[in-house]
Amino acid sequence: MVERPQLRERARPPTERECADIPWLKVLSPEDRADAVDHLMVSVAVPGDRVCRIGRPSTFWFGVIDGLLKMSNDTSDGAQITYTGIPPGAWFGEGTLLKRETYRYNIEALRRSTVAGLTSDTFQRLLDRSIPFNRFVMNQLNERLGQFIAAREIDRHNQPDARVARNLAALFHPVLYPGVGDLLRITQQELGYLVGLSRQRVNQALNALQQAKLIRIDYGGVRVLDLDRLRRYTPPG
C-alpha cells in the first residue's frame, strides 16, 4: 500500500476565495495582508489526519476553511477526552504559539476538511507590528477563555439533552466560529463523537431541542433558532 503524503507535504497556496473566508485578513493593512498571504498554506485533511499532535512543536497558527475538526487529549489509561469541535471560520493555537510551547492536545479531522496554516514567524511578526491583528488575537483569547469555562460547566451535566444543547451552542459561537452562521453542517455521528454520546442518544436529544423550538434539524445539519436559550437549556422536569 502506498503511504499517503503528510498534511504539510500536500500543502498549497490559498485561493482568493479561501482568503476571503479568513476573518483576520480583513483587519490587516494592505502591506501586512500581502505578507500574511505569502506565508499562508492550505491543505485538505481527511478523517483521521492530525493537524496538531501532542508534544510536537508549534510551527503554525491554524484555521478551518471548511469541514470539522476535534480537539482532544489522551488520558493515562489510553482513553480519549474530547474538548471541543472546531468548525469553519475557527482559528486556534495562538496561546501555544505565544508561549512557544509544544502542543498539549491533538487536533484531528472528523471529515474531509480544508485547513489553513500561517507560519509562526509571520504570526509573531504581525503581533509585533499590527495593532488590529493584536486586537483580533486578544479577542480570540478572551472568547476562548469564556468557552472553556462554559465547557467545565458542561462536563458537570449528567443530563444528555443539556450536554447536547450546550455543546451545540458552543459550536455556534459567532466570534470564534464566524464561518458557521446559523446552520452547522454536522452529522449525528460527528456530534456524538464531540459530546461523548451514541448517535441514537444524540438523535433523541436533537428531537427534544427541536420540539422546544431551539433548533431545526435540516438536511445535513442543524439550524439554530434561539442561541441564547440553547446556551441556557435545562430539560423540563
pLDDT tens digits, 193-227: 888 899 999 999 999 999 999 999 998 899 999 99
pLDDT on residue 200: 95
For residue 130, CA distances in Å to 26, 35, 82, 136, 185 come to: 12, 12, 34, 10, 34
DSSP 103: P
Angle, vertex CA 185, rays to CA 183 and CA 189, nearest 5: 135
> Which run of H or of E encompasses 152?
helix 131-155
| Cross-strand pairs, 64 | 115
Instruction: Tell me if 8-150 shares its fold with 158-231.
Output: no
The dihedral through the CA atoms of 218, 167, 229, 113 has a sign that is: negative
Report the chain (237 residues): mean pLDDT per 10 consecutive residues: 62 95 96 97 93 92 95 70 87 92 92 96 96 95 79 68 91 90 91 91 96 93 94 83
Give the long-range contacts of residues 216-220, CB within 8 A, separation 24 or more: 218/183, 220/185, 220/187
- For residue 236, the SS3 value is coil
Domain 8-150, CATH class in plain words: mainly beta
Which CATH code is given to the segment(s) 158-231?
A: 1.10.10.10
Burial 81-96 (b: 16+ CB within 10 A, else e): ebbbbbbbbbbbbbeb
- For residue 48, the SS3 value is coil
Show me where the domains of the chain are located: 8-150, 158-231
The answer to whether 179 and 90 are in contact (CB under 8 A) is yes
Single out the residue of 172, 123, 110 nearest to residue 143, CA to CA: 172
The answer to whether 176 and 146 are in contact (CB under 8 A) is no
